[in-house]
Structure 1
Amino acid sequence: MGVAGGVGLAPGATDLLVLAVAGQRHQGDDTVARVLAALSAGSALGGLLQRGRRLARHCR
């Protein structure tokens, strides 16, 4: 339960950190949206690459 809780809290903490830093530097909402979109895209790409590696290993 502890690991699952940590994994669940990490994205929320990242979102809050991005919002806090952007607010502190007087950046607009568009900057926050771009940073969060980039983090989401990187996460999705990493998941797809990891899945591809598992499938390639399974097919050998």
Structure 2
Amino acid sequence: MPKPPRSPIVTDREKTIGVRVSPREYEAIQRRADKLGLRVASYVRLLALQDAEEELSPKN
């Protein structure tokens, strides 16, 4: 399945996180990302930040 086009949205993301996975693990992650129409990086970011929503929300 072809990768979705990159979003032209400018963000303040400038840090990277590298994670090594086996080919089998990568394929499983890729399949799940594809099902959601996401790139692997976006899918992994979504999972990593699921529990951090409260911490990342603007302070009132």
TM-score normalised according to structure 2 size:
0.30
More helix by share: 1
Q: Select the structure of larger CA radius of gyration.
A: 1
Higher relative contact order (CA 8 A, sep 6+): 2
TM-score normalised according to structure 1 size:
0.30
